[in-house]
């Protein structure tokens, strides 16, 4: 069954006013065989400082829905969205379509622009002149819970 999904995204603005952050161990954590850790260099790490390139144009939004699971965007993931980036073919974009926000992969083809879901249960959306359509921003990172 193919369905058209519209997402209701909740937007958050990054707070870059503080330079605190979580403790970061620079040595890395082995995903293979454990290695002896002689020195654990500690410093503070702010994810905003790493994930946000343009603080005035960057927002966070939470995913609601399953249409992008093939791209690794699962329900309740937190998206980092940069409004200063140029939309381009194959980028994942947050779009405002006919009064609702949605996140899809942009497909720019000779016959027009398509919003391509990453789940075979959802159908692509062809953008027409009748649509109220704005590419709101480009997804740069995804933050997941495990």
pLDDT in tens, 14-55: 665 655 554 445 555 566 665 555 455 566 667 777 788 888
How many domains does one find in the chain? 1
Q: Which residue in 8, 67, 144, 145 is the catalytic one?
A: 67
The CATH number of whichever domain residue 61 belongs to comes to 2.10.109.10
Q: Classify residue 4: in a domain, yes or no.
A: no
Q: Classify residue 79: in a domain, yes or no.
A: yes
What's the confidence (pLDDT) of residue 101?
Answer: 93
Residue 91 designated active-site? no
pLDDT, one tens digit per residue, over 99-125 is: 999 999 999 999 899 999 999 999 999
Q: Which residue in 46, 55, 104, 144 is the catalytic one?
A: 104
Nearest-angstrom CA–CA distance, 38 and 75: 40
Q: Classify residue 75: in a domain, yes or no.
A: yes
What is the rounded average pLDDT for all residues in the chain?
81
Q: On the CB side of 109, how many CA atoms lie within 13 Å of its CA?
A: 10
Domain of residue 91, residue span: 10-16+53-143
DSSP state of 7: B
What's the confidence (pLDDT) of residue 2?
Answer: 40
- Strand residue runs (E) in 37-99: 42-45, 58-62, 78-82, 92-97
Q: Classify residue 69: in a domain, yes or no.
A: yes
Q: On the CB side of 104, how many CA atoms lie within 13 Å of its CA?
A: 30
Residue 126 designated active-site? no
Query: DSSP letter string over 102-134?
Result: EEEEEEEETTEEEEE-SSTTB--EE--TTS-EE
Strands 112-116 and 125-126: antiparallel
């Amino acid at each position: 069954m193919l369905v058209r999904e519209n997402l209701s995204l909740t937007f958050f603005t990054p707070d870059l006013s503080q330079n605190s952050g979580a403790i970061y161990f620079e040595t890395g954590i082995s995903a293979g065989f454990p290695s002896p850790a002689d020195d654990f260099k500690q410093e503070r790490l702010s994810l905003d400082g790493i994930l946000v390139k343009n603080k005035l144009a960057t927002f966070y939004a939470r995913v609601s829905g399953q249409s992008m699971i093939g791209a690794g965007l699962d329900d309740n993931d937190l998206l980092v969205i940069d409004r200063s980036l140029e939309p381009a073919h194959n980028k994942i974009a947050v779009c405002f379509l006919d009064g609702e926000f949605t996140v899809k992969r942009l497909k720019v083809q000779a016959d027009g622009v398509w919003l391509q879901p990453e789940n075979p249960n959802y159908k692509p959306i062809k953008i027409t002149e009748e649509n109220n359509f704005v590419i709101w921003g480009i997804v740069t990172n995804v933050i997941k819970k495990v």
